[in-house]
Amino acid sequence: MSLKSFGGLLAAFVAAGYFLVNNREITLTKKDLECAKLPDSFDGKKILVLSDLHKKRYGDNFNNIMGFCRAQSPDYVFFLGDLFSRDETDMKPKAAFMARLQSIAPTYYIVGNHELFQPECLQALCMKLESLGVTVLRNSKTTLIQGKDSIDLYGLQLPLRYYVNSDWSYRHLPVPSDEYLQKCLGKPDPKRCSLLLAHDPFFFESYARWGASVTFSGHCHGGVIRLPLIGGLLSPERRFFPRYTKGIYNSRTFGTDRRLVVTAGLGKFRLNNPSEILVCTLKQRK
């Protein structure tokens, strides 16, 4: 074997090893999240934010990830959709994973786009999760209570047409109107802190106009490949350099009064973009 061939083979092995490690790595991200209208009793409360598990297992019974989650001692767990991939039908491992999260802290789940391809599996899973104590929010609202204070938590479930066209193209996808969001979720009280769980972050300005103080999203897998100084490269809609892939964003219209939190999620192929466990500590806005 020539020196050149050996060098090429070595480079291929190194690249394959890097891809393998990068797709097994888990990072823990901690962020303070200043929130408008946050009541005193919620200041300092921690939210564990997870999304887009898809087919990842993280060891037997998800043991490799549960240690990370439990160690954070969160007050709430938000799971933001794509708990399973569209070609999966065995929901038992997914229910077991969510049950383990529920044992850590009150857990809230919304539907992503992949679950919509398996409506019967989704319905069975939601019933199972509810029986385990997990709160499933499908265009519905619940109230989080701390002492005498409370905030409103909403969960949005958009139809599949907002993610992909019937011919499997992604051109000219609709944007949910203000009226449509009010039809799905009702109208939030402008005097109260309202948190919204919405799988797709690209409609952030619509969510902000609707009245969400903070929106929590996933879907983008961190942009699949992250480039230094640039960020995420690709969205699930095959769009390059999407606006929202990972981190905390302020509204272009409302500034810090309306904020978006996007997690890079747990599953799918990724490069220079490890799976992410996100912990947000709520803070009253200074």
Could you give the domains of the chain?
Answer: 26-165+173-284 (3.60.21.10)
Percent of the chain with pLDDT over 70: 92
**Residue 242 backbone phi and psi in degrees, to 5:** -65, 155
Tokens 């919304």, residue located: 110
Helix (H) or strand (E) holding 78: strand 76-79
Percent of the chain with pLDDT over 90: 84
- Please give the average per-residue pLDDT across 157-161, as a whole number: 97
pLDDT at 59 over 90: no
Nearest in space to 112 (alpha carbons), one of 236, 4, 226:
236
Nearest in space to 81 (alpha carbons), one of 39, 117, 45, 131:
117
pLDDT at 178 over 80: yes
Rounded CA gap, 260 and 272, in Å? 23
What burial class does residue 191 get, using C-beta atoms within 10 Å of its C-beta: 0-12 exposed, 13-18 middle, 19+ buried?
Answer: exposed
Instruction: Please give the pLDDT value at position 285.
Output: 84
pLDDT at 7 over 60: no
Give the range among 40-54, 123-137, 145-159, 235-249 with minimum mean pLDDT: 235-249
* pLDDT tens-digit map of 86-136: 999 999 999 999 999 999 999 999 999 999 999 999 999 999 999 999 999
> CA triplet 72, 75, 80: central angle to 5 degrees?
85
Rounded CA gap, 213 and 226, in Å? 28
pLDDT at 3 over 90: no
Nearest in space to 47 (alpha carbons), one of 72, 80, 81:
72
- Please give the average per-residue pLDDT across 25-47, as a whole number: 95
